[in-house]
Structure 1
Amino acid sequence: MDVNREGLIDFPQIGPLPVAGMTLKEMRSFLKKQAEQIVGTSISTTMGRLRSIQVFALGEVEKPGPYLVSALATVTDALVMAGGPSGIGSLRDIQIRRKNKTVDRLDFYDLLQTGDRSRDITLQNSDVIFVPPVGDLVGIAGNVKRPAIYELKEKKDLASILTLAGGVIPSAYKQHIQVERFLGHEKRICVDINLEEVSDKPFLLRDGDLVKVFPVIAKDANVIYIYGNFNRPGKYQWKEGMKVNDIIKKKEQLITDTYMDYALIKRLDRKTLQTFLIPFRLGEAINGNPAENVPLASQDQIYIFSRWFFIPKDQITISGEIRRPGTYQIEGNTKVKDVILLAEGLTRNAAFHAGEILRRTSEKTYKLIHFSPTRALKGMGNDNLLVRDGDKIIIHSIEEEKPVYNVTIKGEVRTPGEYILTKGETVADLIFRAGGLRDSAYLDEAELFRLKIVQGKSFDVKRMIFSPSRALERDPEHNIKLKPYDELMIKRIPEWRNVGTVMVRGEVVFPGNYTIEKGESLVSLLNRAGGYTGDAFLKGARLTRESVRISQQAHLKKIINMLEMDVAREAAAIETKAQTALDVEAMKESIKYRKDLLNKLKKIEAPGQICISFRPLDEMADARDNITLEDGDAIMIPEYPGTVHVLGMVYNATTFLYRPGMDLDEYLELGGGILPMGDKKRVYLEKADGRTLEIERGFKIFSANRYIPGIGGVTVEEGDSIIVPESPQLPGAGWKKTRDFVQFVYNTAASMAVLKYLFE
């Protein structure tokens, strides 16, 4: 008889017997009991090779798919083969589906926390293990046995999550547990809970909650502290009614030289939370004198002092060329040698015969005593003097004994500058100290200027010519020995130039960074770059130059400073100029408006653009636009934009497709028209090449004998930007001045082709 696919044995005279899920030993015992019901029957049970079955691990598992497993495999065996649940897979609702029905569910928490495998059933062929997404998650941190993130099931109260976490540890403060919770996908809140008050009414947790279990305050409640001259300082148990001599019972507990006539107790007043000091005589307290044997309170701090603490110590200060300058304590017989050795000795720059002691002789007078540090270190009496409290010892440097002279080298050396003159230094030596000659240095001739002081009243300058190349060859005629204040000038090779670089970007055949020759022109470089591509938009091409940018930026800064000073002066005079409170408010509003506009202007960086009319290269070759290039220039040839920008005070500031034949007003209508705070009398038209036109709006013909406000006949081209400025609508005093101020700022920005940046 064999076990069929349903786990049944068709036993004669008895019928089908279920054995699925039994071990071999259990099945033998079971069949033996069944066989005993039939007289004269014996039974032998053996097991052949285990067959394999196919199961499916699906849902949120690491490696979903079909798996061949042993016929005795359980749910956990199959999950291990599938890599287990994924990061978002549930551990608490693992479903076993058989013939499209859920026959069981496995909660891994039962297995992991209690070892319960009762739901880890044996699988059958074609079973599906389905892991759904994780359910509600709650984190718990702090003073619990198993801090972690837990998945909630039916029980969602705080007590249940604490049980999952193994409960709180002894140091947990149960009266303050905090739950951080996200509320309505809008904000996060905190809920404080006293665990002892929620036993009757469970506190329910929500998905995303974080439970924090804080520790009790790490401060002992029944202790006192002893500090200072005590053999075993630290904390001691405090008991009700305890006094000083209950803890300091005998003098043997104290360190030698303890001061017995004074000690302190530092105590906290629980009502005011202020500390105060209680002095007492330690010796009398140990002897039991009631007046000094102070009653102690919990958290008291007892300070016991050494008798030396109250005796001021003699100190001296040593500075200068000493290894460890500073202040040192001395005894009554300390000498200079002792102090120098205490400070770890002299430095290598110490002047061996130049030391001083500055000593106070009275409240207002000092005495200066000279000594030799080397003789003091040898113990010679006249120099190894006794020092006194308050003495200041100074060890001088050898650099103070001789004057320091400088020489200067300028021009074509790698590190020009001023250098200290060394003994016997020559021209070649100084050139080497300055990093050597540059490639641009003129080797045949250089100059040496020598200063000669005449009787301390005047000076003469002598000019000497030498050859740097022959000086470096150590020719004594040219390798001149230097004197104090000499100045060398290494000349540059005539017509020497630095190679320049120009950046070419955009619609040229070969964009990139190009090295230029001296005097190279714009057309020459564009030809080297292969010329324009078919998509080059020449009306929008621009050339920028760093020197122009610096000049523009300086000019812009100067204007901003001037306007800021004007605004500041007006702000200071508001109270005197204004007639009424309404005027004061109006002028303040005007000043605020102007300051805001200046702040915008400050953020703008000048482009450094040079206005050039780019054309086909054969037409530009002999034109005035074919300028000479400089190092750092940048050329940008854009492609056809196919758009027109409408910016500023319009209802719909955006970019529109370019439509040939449309005039400026028609583009403004596409932008929804001018806003009430926009300037209806003038607009700016920034051309693609950076030029900006100020256009006044008048009246244009709408139909026969009918005119409407607008601009007629102003051509708008591809790549242009239409900018409607703001017209400040401010009441009362200062309105006209504000309007003029705004127009001046706009005109300044327009002149530098940066007006549109005020509206971005």
Structure 2
Amino acid sequence: MKKIIFTLLIFASVLLSQHAVAQGVLQSTDLRTVNVDNLSDSDIAKVKAQLASNNMTIDQAQTALLAKGLSASEFVKLKNRLGSSANNAITTIPQLQETPSENNSGIRTQTAFSNVKVKDTENALVFGSELFDNPTLNFAPDLQLATPINYVLGPGDELQVSVYGVQLYNTTINVSAEGKIAIDAVGQLYVSGMTIEAATQKIKNAIANIYSTVASGQSQVSVSLGKIRTVKVTIIGGKQPGNYSVSSLASVYNALHLAGGPSKNGSYRNIELIRNNQVIKYIDIYDFLVKGDQSANVNLKDNDVIRIPAYTKRVTVEGEVKRPGIFELKKGETFSTLLSFASGFSESAYIASVNVTQKTSKEFKVQDISKAEFATYIPQAGDIFKVNRILNRFENRITIVGAVFRPETYAFTEGMRVSDLIAKADGLKEDAYNKRARILRITDNLTAEVINVNLEKALSGNLEADIVLNKEDVLTVYSILDFTEDFKITIDGEIKKPGVYNFYQGLSLNDLLIQAGGLSGSASKRVEIARMIVSEDIDNSNPNKAELFNIEITPSNNEQAKNFVLSPFDVINIRKMAVYEKPQVVSVVGAVNYEGKYVLASKLAKVADLIERAGGLTTQANSSGVKIKRPIQAKQIEAIENIDLNLGVNDSIQKNIEKRLKDDVKYAIIPVDWEAIVKNPLSSTNVRLVPGDIIEVATFNEGVKVAGNVLLTSEIPYVKGKGFNYYLDAVGGLDAKAWKKKAYIIYPNGKAAITHSFLFFKSYPLVTPGSQIIIPEKPETTKLNTTEVVSIGSVIASLALLIVTAFK
């Protein structure tokens, strides 16, 4: 019985809890046990009524329901049972209406204020003028910073009011000319003259009185500045004085920049900010320029006046300071203060004293200010301070050069002697010449004198020789190597590295052979050494200019048994073996039985010998097509370069010849009459070969090639008995630029034949198989114009008239 009663109690409590949830789902603080499936339709209707009474949709209530423990799956079920959430809100109290905003992005805006910058050429040297000439420095307020809590609202400001949380609301409200704002369902609020912080609290309280979710903390209110109002300020004494509309966040420096800064005679140190007819701030721009202090850069208010009075005192600083220019000084400021404005002396400044040019009532006067007076001297208006450079001299320099271990400049001390300076330089080197040293000294009348020193005595303690030095003295210690002649020796001939080498005492031929890389393989046993003749007396009976030594060496050994000792300026020549010539080759190509390269076994080898070694001509060979291609030698080009054709400096004919030989021709062609050689081996066409020759045997070709200025470049089959004109006709004849009388034929063996003319008759060369007919182009000629023809006619007529007159 007890179990039944307990079960009924549990069931009743569940039903009551579900009913309670249905009655106050938004007011409940714990929704973890809610099961939406157990809610009846009447329960769902009650939830809808609760949402309507709170002017909410189920989506707007999502965050609050989940925070109270309702699971996400149960929320989805609840939303599905409630149906579409778009029409669930039933307005039971005046609803907030969103006001369209031109600034929906939420970014604070401000009307842009600018002014044309005018370069101050008259005041360019005045310290601080560049601050207002630079258009990139405008001191404009940063609109993206957080709204200042002490910002005072006024007519023209724009507020962005947002309600977020259970209720969502955004609107943009302008502060009216009467200083009020109007919020839907709330009414009008007076905010002009209030800080943004105080106005925010007032707006929150007003909205909370109407909307319960704000009062309960379920919704929050945010107030921020949108578009910022402008204020009017007046600037007097600027380069561009007048009334300016500036941002309500603008500062004094921003307004000064718009006005171009102080005028020509305006002060940079005593600018006044006047508000309500009282000076509330004195602005010293130097505090910002020198220290970066912006404490005087206060925000402006409507109807503020910035007055720039005339300066009281300006001075000029020239010369060796880091920032020369014109500076404004206040009463009581000293030269030390002025020096800080100029960023101090430069590295090369003379700081012992400063020269100042002052103005008296009648004239100028010059005064020197010592370093001790810098902190007490009060500059006068119009002073011109000139900071000079230090002298290009040393007060305690002394120098040592030459054969010491540390030649350098050292500090001079009174009483320093030669031995002291040498000790500072770590002593003499091994090659030092200790009989004499030299002191170069500048005397009092600025002339130079030389003092000789006996180093040996000076370093042995002789005070008379150990001369006392003066500042700026230069001590030179000589080296014995300075007195030694630089001897050379020359080796040439069959040595691997011929050239000029340094001579050393005791140098032998074996030493030099090793130094020069050893003998080459072609070195003979003969060596000739030429030595200069040295004598105090002239021997007219001896015409020899050098003494010759002929010695024999072992070519296969660099170390000779007899080690010949050399002398300065000897010239050694290693002779070449009488017979030492590397095998050299020629090539045979074309229609022979064995093409390839062949060594010239004999100095007298001829064309027929090599063709015979190559197996003779093949059956396809053209016996009329044998020729030799001989490479153009460098000495042939050099010979042409050395010939003066007297063509003038700017004439390019000779240069073109040289270029053609080097780059284009490369080979000289030697025609060979093979049939004549076969009949008579002693024929002159059986030429002797030289290394590098290429014997080329052409394959028989029955065609005749026609090229040049013809209508069709082609190869025409050879027809026995047909002449020159037959092949020209076969290619369509000549073109308009053809020069037929200069036509020529190139035969297979490289020989060429030209067309001959006698009176009106032309003799064309014989055409053979494999030959090539070339028709060149006519050279261009300049035709006479009408004026030239008339001029020539006039000259001829005049001559004719003279002749007729002469014979009358």
TM-score using structure 1 length: 0.45
Larger Rg: 2
Higher strand share: 1
TM-score using structure 2 length: 0.42
